[in-house]
A and B are shown apart, each in its own frame.
Chain A
Amino acid sequence: MPELLEISQLSAGYGPLRVLHEIDLIIGEGERIGLVGLNGHGKTTLIRALTHMAGWQQGSIKLDGAEIGGTRSQGAGRRTPGLVKRGIGVAPQGDAIFPGLSVRRHLECGAHTKAAWRERRQRIDRIFDIFPPLRPLEHALVGKLSGGERRMVSIGRMLMAEARLYLIDEPSLGLAPKISHRVMEALWDLPVTGAMIIAEQNVTLLTGRADRMIGMHAGRLRGDVGHVDLA
């Protein structure tokens, strides 16, 4: 299995607060990883650090062998658009939607590569196939949608351009159980070319479906991280 993402000694935090503590993680091509942990143990910070959105960070992150990490003590978000263009798709916590755009325009925003923009109609159609409830809402403003529909729009925006690595932060946050199951089912059914990391508090949504489950506790990884087995 070729390596897609190689994180080594990644630390990150906000101001004097250090949230991630020297994380090492290797993710292979085609893997779907469930990242579980309680509130405040660093799941979101890990995802934000991968896109340079954390307050500060250090340590190496390699995407397809190219270094995208480094030491940085300020300038959060400055490199994010560039990293997204390099193939990291993000569905952030809290959705970060554009309330005044229609669902269609919103999805078009996600088509940031040339190819995606050219065939945006087909791709939007494909997103509507994945999330059928969005189809009748095509011209509705996103700001008027319900929480579940917003989550679908946010994930749909991420899926518009093909990425090497999909990062999905708390897809079930604030949703009714039925809807969150539906969103998760749609996620599992996606054909993944690269890899996918789903951060989630609700372990039952992940068990049996994720290729690997990684726990996060107090800013460190726990569980199936893949360390040397000596016994």
Chain B
Amino acid sequence: MTEKRFYQVGRKPWEWRLKPAGDAERARGRVPGTRRHWLKWRDVHNDKSLKRERVMVDKKPLWWTIGLVLLLFITPFLPNSMISVVSIFCIYAAINILWTLIIGTAGIFSLATLAVVGVSAYIAAAANVYLGVPWPFMLIIGPMAGLIFGAILAAPSTRLDGLYYALLTMGVAEICRVFVVQLRALTASGGAITNVDSFIPEDWFLQRPGLLLGFVGAFLLMLGALLVWRLVNSERLGMLLRVAKTSREDEAFAEAVGIDFRRARLMVFIISSAALGVVGAFYAMYYRSISPQIFSLDQLLLLFAMMVIGGLGRAEGAVVGAAIVTIIDKGLIELGPPRIILVALIMIGVTVFAREGLMGARNQFRDFRNRKAGERRARRTEKGGEAMPEEATEVHDKQELYYRRFNKRLRDKLKDMITPELIAEHQRDPLGHHSDALARVLNFFRRGEMADKYVIHRMKPAEEKFRIMAVSGARGMPPRVVDDREYSDIKEAYHAVFLLRVNDLLES
């Protein structure tokens, strides 16, 4: 016996599920101090086994934890050069996460991210070197500078949109570079401030313990950036902004329901700028110096490439993109210029094929598969399908799709059977022995839905006067009269109902 084959309808990805006992009480821990749960579980009911099951709806936290823990424990065993690559990766990832917050969450296309980092790094370093402020205070001066600079930058963003603002911020970065290079006090060092004090003791600098300390610092920096991302993007500000995200209409809608999205955007921008100020101060300390290189367009484009490869607007995209590009750019340094070409080619390839970078590829593939499945389903019967290309995925009860498909084919078949002879046969003998075709058609009519089903109404008891009505299908609602013709013969009425139903069938 051959095994029966079932065609899958709609999306049914394989999923790992917990199977709790049927009567077990549901227990969920909460993050201390908040009302949030640790992981997002959902209780579902399995239609086939009729058992209770538990699905992890959002598996991202799991992957984050695994990735970060692996990074933390593997790095100490790497050679010196790799440790510094990992540290640089962490710093870039932190910058990218905060930049993603500006571009993705706030939707402000700013290219001044590195300018904010640079300005706060310069101010913090200058405070340390020229005013003798000890290094822990740099971590306070940095964000203060970032906050003020960010507030200045954010002001025109409400007036200019998209590309115009991008240009403006690019101009600001250029102005910063020119300004720093031409500062008279720094001309001796080509615009750089050197000998910045650091959390890494001087005699450890570029030694293994110093590198490890630097890595720990950079790792904490990245965690801090992720925390900022989480607090801004997933809490109130991010939720407000998600309303006004995609289009002008959404913005109008947000305004109509009383969301001041412009203010929220400015807030996000300023918060991220302050956080970028911390990164700037850390950057100056990590390298013990800061140079105008940070304002250059190449550096900016490299960071932009990271975000694009990972996927604009996603934290995991920013981190994964930073990992890929840092490994190519810093890890394969002996390759020379071709490594930048490689980065550019990856960037082009990812953008041509993926809608939202590498991290969005999975969803994109799913959409693609669903679409193709829908098209196949729509083509399965030659004349019009049982479900529309995009509609089928929205129908929850897949049984419904199969019923539609069956019903459709049945109707197509029955339409072919209706001939003048068949109608004549029914007129001759509405009740009596029917031919096979007529019996099939009548069977189909008998199974019709109650709503709008035609019935015969005997107008007066014991009198041969009939009328055709259609029942409402709803309890307590009277049937409606279809037409005012009266029939004196029950057979004639039977046939009239038959004709009405045939007409409906042919019209469907």
Contact = CB atoms under 8 A, between A and B. Distances in A.
Direct contact, A vs B (beta carbon within 8 Å): yes
A56 B499 CA distance: 36
Contact of A71 (B378, B499, B503): B378
**10 cross-chain pairs, A with B, having the tightest CB-CB distances, nearest first:** A9-B384, A73-B389, A16-B394, A58-B378, A73-B371, A9-B383, A71-B378, A56-B389, A227-B507, A22-B384
Nearest to B423: A230
A228 B502 CA distance: 10
Nearest to B506: A228
A70 B207 CA distance: 68
Contacts of B389: 56, 58, 71-73
A18 B371 CA distance: 15
B384 A59 contact: yes
B391 interface: yes
Contacts of B393: 16
A171 interface: no
Given A8-B383, A73-B390, 19 more contacts: A9-B384, A13-B388, A13-B391, A15-B390, A16-B390, A16-B394, A22-B384, A55-B390, A56-B390, A58-B379, A58-B385, A58-B389, A71-B379, A71-B389, A73-B375, A74-B371, A228-B503, A230-B502, A231-B499
Nearest to B374: A73
Contacts of A16: 390-391, 393-394
Nearest to B371: A73
A11 B388 contact: yes
Contacts of B394: 16
Interface in B135-176: none
Contacts of B502: 230
Contact of A58 (B371, B384, B423, B499): B384
B462 to A, nearest CB: 29
Interface string A48-66: 0000000110111000000
Interface in A202-231: 227-228, 230-231
A227 B507 CA distance: 7
Interface string A82-110: 00000000000000000000000000000
20 contacts: A8-B383, A13-B391, A16-B390, A16-B391, A16-B393, A18-B391, A55-B390, A58-B389, A59-B384, A71-B385, A71-B389, A73-B371, A73-B374, A73-B375, A73-B390, A74-B371, A227-B507, A230-B423, A230-B499, A231-B499
Interface in B383-442: 383-385, 388-391, 393-394, 423
A13 B507 CA distance: 21
> Which of the listed residues A60, A71, A72, A228 has the most CB atoms from chain B within 10 Å of its own CB?
A71
B355 to A, nearest CB: 12
A228 B375 CA distance: 31
A10 to B, nearest CB: 8
A2 to B, nearest CB: 22
Contacts of A227: 503, 506-507
Interface in B326-376: 371, 374-375
Contacts, number: 53
A230 B422 CA distance: 12
Interface in B183-208: none
A18 B388 contact: yes
Contacts of A58: 378-379, 384-385, 388-389
Contacts of B371: 73-74
Contacts of A73: 371, 374-375, 389-390
Contacts of B391: 13, 16, 18
A15 to B, nearest CB: 6
Contacts of A74: 371
Interface string B230-260: 0000000000000000000000000000000
B427 to A, nearest CB: 11
B438 to A, nearest CB: 15
Interface string A21-62: 010000000000000000000000000000000011011100
Contacts of B499: 230-231
Contacts of B384: 8-9, 11, 22, 58-59
Nearest to B379: A71
A59 B389 CA distance: 12
A8 B381 CA distance: 13
A9 B390 CA distance: 17
A184 B6 CA distance: 56
A184 B502 CA distance: 39
A79 B486 CA distance: 54
Interface in A160-185: none
Contacts of B388: 11, 13, 18, 56, 58
A71 B376 CA distance: 9
B483 to A, nearest CB: 11
Contacts of B390: 13, 15-16, 55-56, 73
Contacts of A230: 423, 499, 502-503
A231 B379 CA distance: 35
Contacts of B503: 227-228, 230-231
A163 to B, nearest CB: 27
Contacts of A15: 390
Nearest to A229: B503
Contacts of A22: 384
A65 B371 CA distance: 29
Contacts of B378: 58, 71
A142 B414 CA distance: 55
Nearest to B496: A231
Contacts of B507: 227
Contacts of B379: 58, 71
Contacts of A60: 383
Interface in B300-339: none
Nearest to B376: A71
Contacts of A11: 384, 388
A22 B371 CA distance: 20
A26 B385 CA distance: 20
A195 B215 CA distance: 75
Q: Which of B374, B375, B379, B393 gathers the greatest number of chain A CB atoms within 10 Å?
A: B375
A16 B10 CA distance: 13
B276 to A, nearest CB: 38
A3 B11 CA distance: 42
Nearest to B395: A16
A230 B506 CA distance: 10
A131 to B, nearest CB: 34
A71 B372 CA distance: 11
A45 to B, nearest CB: 13
B287 to A, nearest CB: 49
Most buried by B among A13, A56, A227: A56
A8 B506 CA distance: 13
